[in-house]
Amino acid sequence: TEPAAAFADAAVLRFAGNATVDDSKSLGLTMLEGGVNTFCVAPIIDRSSTARVEFWAIGLNCCGRRSSFECDEAGLPTNHDGYVVSDPRDGDVWFDKVGKHFAPAIARRDLFMKAIKSAETIHGVVSSDRAVLVRWGSASKTDLIQKGGLAMGLFLGFSVIVSAAAAVILSPLLKEVREGMEAYTLYRSQYAREADSGPKRQFNDVIIQGFIMPLLAIVFGVLFVTWSDCWALGDLLLGVYTISVAGSAAALLLSTKTFRFGVVLVLATIVGALVGHKNYIHNSFYFCSVMAHRSYSNVRADAKAVEYLDAGQMRFEVGAKLAADQSFGFLHRGVTYCAAPVVSPACATATIASPLAAPAAAPAAAPAAAPAAAMPASPAAASATALAAPCEVNFWAVGSNCCDNTGGFTCFEGSEWGHEAVVLRSMGERKVGNELRHKYLQAARAAADRNQNIILSDELMLLLPTSRSIDDWKGKAIGVCVLTTALAFGALAGLAFLSLWWDKRKGD
C-alpha cells in the first residue's frame, strides 16, 4: 500500500507477509505491436490495500483473458518477492521512437500500461501513474546477477566457438577466393582491355545487374514492407533486406561502368518500398491486426469499448441492434463514409419509444372526443411520449458508399445484420496514415450530434459489420504483391532489352 514512487530505484522487492498476487483481477491483453504476445498483469495487494494499486505483477503469455495468472511464481503462496522491471525510457530519449521496435516484449512498459488501463475499467481498480511493475519470483539480487553473468558467459563462449569453427571452415575457402581473384585480375588485364575502352556490355552483366537485382529489390521490398509487421521476425528480415540493397546499390554507383545499373536498383527499391507501404496501410495492417487479436462472442452492446482493446473479431448478443435509421453518411471526394450505432436491446426500445425517432403519422380524421384536459393520459402513453434518456454508444458499424445522407445503412451482407463484426483498428502507434479511420469518426460524431437520444463514448470502437472484410484485405494485399511482381518483370525485361540493343548499336 506504500506509494510506488518511493521504490522507483528498487531492483528487488520483498513484500509484507500477507501480500499476494490478486488473480481475480488479472487481465491478459493481446496486441500486434508486441509481436503477437499476450501481456499479462495482476495487482499485488495485501489486507490493508485500498482500490488504488501501486504494484503490478507482469508476465508474457501466462494468463487468460481475465483470470489464470500463472506468471513466474505467482501460484506459490509462500513467495512474497519480486524483481522490478525497469522503465527503459529512463535515460533513453530514443526508446519511444526507435528502441521499442527492437526491445524484447517484456521491456515494453507502454504495452503493459495499456493492459493495466483495461484492468482498471474491467475490475474497477485505480492504478498509480508511476506504478512499479515486477516479475513475481523468489530470486534474490545476487541470483539475478549470477544468472545474468551466466547468460553473458554462455553467449561469449558460444560466440568464440562459432568464430573458431568459422575460421577453420573459411580459411581454405578464403585461400581459393584469393587465388580466384588473382586469376580474374590477370584475365582482365590480358583479355578485357577492349571491353574496358568501349561502352559494350556483356550479356550476363545486363541480365544480372540490370534485370535480376532490380527485380529482386522490388519483389522483396513490396513483400517485406507489406508483411513485416505481421511476422515475428519481420523487422529483422526488413533490416537485412535494407542493408543488402544499400550495399549493392553503393557498389554499383561507385563504378562508372555500372552506374546506370545502380540508378535502376535505387529506383526499383524506392518503388518497392512505396508500393509496399501503400499496400500495408490499406490492406495488410487491417488483416494482420484482426488475426493477431482475440475473438469474442455474446458481446453486450452497452459494454465499454475499453474492455475489448485486444478484440479482432466480435459477435454481439442476439438482442443487439444496428440502428440503420440513425446512421449518417459523410461525403468526402466522392466517397460516402457511413457510421451507424450498435445499441443494446434496452436502448433500441427507448429509441423507438422516443419522440426523436420517426413519429407516427397522425390519422386523417378522428371521431369527436372529450377535450384533452378532461381525458387524463394513461401511464403507458406518457411513457411512450416521454423523452428517453440518451444512450452511450461505444460501438459503431462503419462502411463506404452504403448509406444515405441520413439513415439507409446497408453495409452488411444479406438482408439483415448477423451480429458479427471486425474491429477497424487505429494506426496511430504505427506513425502512418490513418485517414480512413478519421473519416469514419467524423461520420460517427455527426450521427451522434443529429440523434439526441444517443451520445458518443470517449472510448469508441469502429467495426466493419461483416467478417468478409478479412478475406478481402488478405486477397487485396496478396494481389498487389503479385501484380507488382508481374509489372516489374515486364518493365525491367524491357529496360534490359533496350540496354542490350543500345550497347550493340554503339558497338557496331
Find the Cα–Cα–Cα–Cα dihedral 461, 466, 471, 474, rounded to 10°.
-20
Check pLDDT > 60 for residue 361: no
Check pLDDT > 90 for residue 88: no
What interhelical angle do 213-227 and 468-507 show, nearest 10?
160
Judged on CB neighbours under 10 Å (0-12, 13-18, 19+), 359 is exposed
> With contact defined as beta carbons under 8 Å apart, do 409 and 397 qualify?
yes
Q: Over the chain, what is the mean pLDDT? A: 80
Q: Which residue has the higher pLDDT, 239 or 200?
A: 239
Could you report the per-residue pLDDT of 383-430, keeping only the tens digit for each?
A: 433 445 788 888 999 989 999 999 899 888 777 788 888 888 877 655
Share of residues in the chain with pLDDT > 90 (%): 18
Could you report the per-residue pLDDT of 282-319, keeping only the tens digit for each?
A: 899 888 888 888 888 898 888 888 888 888 888 898 88
Q: Which residue has the higher pLDDT, 378 or 94?
A: 94
Find the Cα–Cα–Cα–Cα dihedral 378, 379, 381, 383, rounded to 10°.
170
What is the Cα–Cα distance from 241 to 323, expressed in whole angstroms? 49
Check pLDDT > 90 for residue 79: no
Check pLDDT > 70 for residue 182: yes
> With contact defined as beta carbons under 8 Å apart, do 265 and 245 qualify?
yes
* The C-alpha cell that represents 9 in the structure block: 530505484
Check pLDDT > 70 for residue 95: yes
pLDDT band of 271, cuts 50, 70, 90: very high
> With contact defined as beta carbons under 8 Å apart, do 347 and 303 qualify?
no
What residues does 221 pair with on adjacent strands? Answer: none
pLDDT value of residue 193: 53
Check pLDDT > 60 for residue 451: yes
pLDDT value of residue 412: 83
Residue 47 DSSP SS3: coil
What residues does 395 pair with on adjacent strands? Answer: 342, 461
Q: What's the average model confidence in pLDDT over 466-491?
A: 91
> With contact defined as beta carbons under 8 Å apart, do 260 and 503 qualify?
no
Check pLDDT > 60 for residue 200: no
* The C-alpha cell that represents 16 in the structure block: 509484507
* The C-alpha cell that represents 27 in the structure block: 487481465
Q: What's the average model confidence in pLDDT over 185-201?
A: 54
* The C-alpha cell that represents 445 in the structure block: 460524431
pLDDT band of 86, cuts 50, 70, 90: confident
Q: What's the average model confidence in pLDDT over 437-442?
A: 87
Check pLDDT > 60 for residue 192: no
> With contact defined as beta carbons under 8 Å apart, do 404 and 340 qualify?
no
Residue 74 DSSP SS3: coil
Length in residues, the chain: 508
Predicted TM-score (pTM) of the model is 0.65
Strands (E), 323-425: 328-332, 335-343, 391-400, 420-423
What is the Cα–Cα distance from 417 to 413, expressed in whole angstroms? 7
Q: Which residue has the higher pLDDT, 91 or 133?
A: 133
Is the torsion defined by CA of 221, 223, 226, 230 positive or negative? negative
Check pLDDT > 60 for residue 363: no
> With contact defined as beta carbons under 8 Å apart, do 56 and 69 qualify?
no
pLDDT band of 348, cuts 50, 70, 90: low
Q: What's the average model confidence in pLDDT over 214-237?
A: 89
Could you report the per-residue pLDDT of 2-52, keeping only the tens digit for each?
A: 666 667 667 788 887 778 888 888 988 887 777 678 899 999 888 777 768
What is the Cα–Cα distance from 218 to 226, expressed in whole angstroms? 12
Amino acid (1-letter code) at residue 417: W
